[in-house]
Structure 1
Amino acid sequence: MKVASIAGLLTLSAPAVYGWGASGHQAVGYVAMQFLAPQALSFVQSSLGSTYSQSLGPAATWADEIKSNSAYAWASALHYVDAEDNPPTSCSVSQSRDCANGRCILTAISNYTSRVVDTSLSTTQRQEALKFLDHFLGDIGQPLHVEALAVGGNDISVKCSGSTTNLHALWDSGMINKLLPANYGGSVTTWADTLATRIKTGSYAPLASSWISCSSTTAPATKRSIEDDITGLLRPRAITPLECPLVWAQDTNSYDCTVVFNYTTGTDLCTSSYYTNAVPVIEQQLAKQGYRLAAWLNVLFDGSTNLP
């Protein structure tokens, strides 16, 4: 989602920088809650407190809600990384190419990972770090949040169930707003429970362990774990970029070539094969990011992923 200038960045309208809509972000948080290890769960509950029902679900939308607050204008660029690739012909994410200024979702995840366990910070600051992680680990699973083309799809007009929208908004919420009432009684918690069950015993179970792998997509022989990433990050004066968020961004970005930009102009994308092809991707991406968020917090507070 390339922005031409800092001035332009600070005046972006909300749709240009939103990730998943509220329902998608909440689903990520609720899925993660089902996989937290004891110390991670304890921190989440005590940090978020009654304001967020002690849950990552309600807290997941905070980072979007603050966009109307000028005091947080600086955070807008942290919700995405502008992949300068060429979908649907070729898809890739490079931190050196796409986050050269050091202000993108990849560096934001690193920053707030360090802050959430920094006991020298106030309770409020650590809670803020947790809420940013909750949100950004959701955003990095949205294919148009790891893509620069057409301002992350915002400049592409499409139809959804007869209404005009844009490609980015379609993925944020348009298709989710059709899916939820049709399949889950309009309940985000029912949806999240279903996704978590698929991870535990259903169709996602054979895939889940690969979701928290950080093996480099460019150097397959190199294997890196979440534990490696976080241990390296928290080491004094560490400067090594995190591998896991980059690999996960690359995983997400691949859908820009296979699904997101493969549509027929003029077709209603919510009443065609595009919708039936996209919904499984949306659901799996939200499940992935909930599982990854739990693993990330488990390593931080319990020392290992504590997941299968």
Structure 2
Amino acid sequence: MIPSNLSTTFLALLALLALLALPSAHAWGTLGHTTVALIAQNFLHPTTIAYTQRLLNDSTPTYLANHATWADSYRSTAEGAFTSVFHYIDALDAPPHSCEVIYERDCPEEGCIVSALANYTERVRDEELGWDDRNKALKMIIHFTGDIHQPLHTENTAVGGNRINTTFDGRAGNLHRVWDSSIIERLVGGFNMSFAQAWAFNLTTEIKHGEYRSRRRGWLKGMELEQPVGTAMVWANDANDDVCTTVLPGGMEDVEGKELGGTYYQSAVPAVKSEVAKAGYRLAAWLNLIATGQSRLPKGPKMHKRNPQPANVLPGQEFEWTAAMLEKRLAVRAARAEAELHGHEC
């Protein structure tokens, strides 16, 4: 019998131990999203810094990073459950033979990460909305800019890799988890704020002076504030290209049931680093556009012509659906629902 005066403490301790025993469900969120936000902070204009700190009510040194994973927590609440579908877009393509995101085909009427980025961009700019709504919109933008640069958040195959069983350094899991957390944790060595700050410093240095200096201008191609869907589509297709070249270059059979901690890991590292760096740099440019009307960074080329959708294009418009496509879309929704029911990160 537990004494009554100790029962509350005892139960709280049990709950804490249970939480500590669980695997990290949002390790990518903890490290990847935080790093993206920290990189972005290094490229923000002073006006943008003041703008974001006011909307976030946060003037600490990690003011963006502190809110980078809020959207993951929000979707787990009753109020925010509707946002679960906003964390990805299911490209109905055929890797490794063909990789491409098509907005009208791949973004269902309930929404996707592309339409969400467009919607929350409009909301954060709407000064008639209250502070709370604009605060949420900004936090969504910070998070979804990170998500859209994870290749398997732009891919339908095997529910974004959730149904491809793999091992990584002897640990059983699935391909989505490998890309969400396993690769990035091993590369950096941990997933708390200090690791994120160190990695953000290194990637920022590469953007300013190193490997990514010559690429950074191209990362801003197609970035137009009045074309948020088109802008997000450029980002989605950029990440989706990695599905064919790096994530599934030999198809599902090459990774199903395989250990991915060796040569696969080595080949994936450059893509992981590049996507995180791009996400941070693009987030900074996008927030600068929102706050000042200019990216405040070296300009990229004009709108990329692949799927340059205007902001008012809705799913299903100007796209010829077939019965087979519709059947596949319904199957995708069912698979996503089942995956989330079993705790997979989608």
Q: If the TM-score is normalised by the length of the shorter chain, which range does it land in? A: 0.7 to 0.9
Moved over 2 A (4+): 17-21, 49-54, 182-186, 262-267
- 1:97 pairs, out of 91, 105, 130, with 105
Look up the match of 2:5: none
- Greater CA drift, 93-102 or 108-117: 93-102
Amino acid at match of 1:267: K
Residue 143 of structure 1 pairs with residue 151 of structure 2: yes
- Cα distance, 1:183 vs. partner? 12
Amino acid at match of 1:292: R
In structure 2, how many angstroms separate the alpha carbons of the residues matched to 1:18 and 1:98? 25
Q: Structure 1's 113 and 183: CA in aligned 2 closer, same or farther, altered over 3 A?
A: closer
Look up the match of 2:17: none
Residue 81 of structure 1 pairs with residue 81 of structure 2: no
In structure 1, how many angstroms separate the alpha carbons of the residues matched to 2:76 and 2:285? 31
In structure 2, how many angstroms separate the alpha carbons of the residues matched to 1:266 and 1:139? 26
Residue 110 of structure 1 pairs with residue 97 of structure 2: no
Amino acid at match of 1:268: E
Look up the match of 2:40: 32
Conserved 8 A contact 1:31-1:196? yes
Look up the match of 2:286: 296
Conserved 8 A contact 1:146-1:152? yes
Amino acid at match of 1:282: V
- Cα distance, 1:50 vs. partner? 3.7
In structure 2, how many angstroms separate the alpha carbons of the residues matched to 1:128 and 1:109? 12
- 2:29 pairs, out of 14, 18, 21, with 21
In structure 2, how many angstroms separate the alpha carbons of the residues matched to 1:252 and 1:154? 17
In structure 2, how many angstroms separate the alpha carbons of the residues matched to 1:52 and 1:111? 27
In structure 1, how many angstroms separate the alpha carbons of the residues matched to 2:176 and 2:131? 35
Residue 166 of structure 1 pairs with residue 174 of structure 2: yes
* Cα offsets for 1:11-37 (capped at 9, x unmatched): xxxx9x979432101111000000011
* Cα offsets for 1:169-197 (capped at 9, x unmatched): 11011111111128999611000111111
Amino acid at match of 2:294: S
Conserved 8 A contact 1:28-1:286? yes
Structure 2: runs of 5+ lacking an equivalent: 1-22, 299-346
In structure 2, how many angstroms separate the alpha carbons of the residues matched to 1:295 and 1:35? 8
Conserved 8 A contact 1:112-1:132? yes
In structure 2, how many angstroms separate the alpha carbons of the residues matched to 1:192 and 1:128? 24
Amino acid at match of 1:151: V
Look up the match of 1:176: 184
Q: Structure 1's 20 and 95: CA in aligned 2 closer, same or farther, altered over 3 A?
A: farther
- Cα distance, 1:49 vs. partner? 2.6
In structure 2, how many angstroms separate the alpha carbons of the residues matched to 1:304 and 1:177? 34
Q: Structure 1's 192 and 210: CA in aligned 2 closer, same or farther, altered over 3 A?
A: same
Look up the match of 2:131: 123
Look up the match of 1:7: none
Conserved 8 A contact 1:82-1:146? yes
Residue identity (%): 41
In structure 1, how many angstroms separate the alpha carbons of the residues matched to 2:77 and 2:108? 27
In structure 1, how many angstroms separate the alpha carbons of the residues matched to 2:87 and 2:130? 24
Q: Structure 1's 143 and 156: CA in aligned 2 closer, same or farther, altered over 3 A?
A: same
Q: Structure 1's 28 and 306: CA in aligned 2 closer, same or farther, altered over 3 A?
A: same
TM-score under structure 1 normalisation? 0.83
Conserved 8 A contact 2:39-2:203? yes
- Cα distance, 1:54 vs. partner? 5.6
Look up the match of 1:267: 258
- 2:270 pairs, out of 280, 286, 297, with 280
In structure 1, how many angstroms separate the alpha carbons of the residues matched to 2:27 and 2:151? 9
Give the SS at the match of 1:150: helix
Conserved 8 A contact 1:52-1:59? no
Q: Structure 1's 182 and 139: CA in aligned 2 closer, same or farther, altered over 3 A?
A: closer
Q: Structure 1's 102 and 95: CA in aligned 2 closer, same or farther, altered over 3 A?
A: farther
Look up the match of 2:55: 47
Conserved 8 A contact 2:164-2:256? no
Structure 1: runs of 5+ lacking an equivalent: 1-14, 215-225, 234-240
Amino acid at match of 2:293: G
Give the SS at the match of 1:211: helix
In structure 2, how many angstroms separate the alpha carbons of the residues matched to 1:184 and 1:77? 27
Conserved 8 A contact 1:184-1:190? no
Look up the match of 1:248: 235
Give the SS at the match of 1:165: strand
In structure 2, how many angstroms separate the alpha carbons of the residues matched to 1:115 and 1:300? 11
Q: Structure 1's 23 and 184: CA in aligned 2 closer, same or farther, altered over 3 A?
A: closer
Q: Structure 1's 60 and 22: CA in aligned 2 closer, same or farther, altered over 3 A?
A: same
TM-score under structure 2 normalisation? 0.74
In structure 2, how many angstroms separate the alpha carbons of the residues matched to 1:104 and 1:185? 29
Amino acid at match of 2:236: A
Bigger radius of gyration, 1 or 2?
Answer: 2
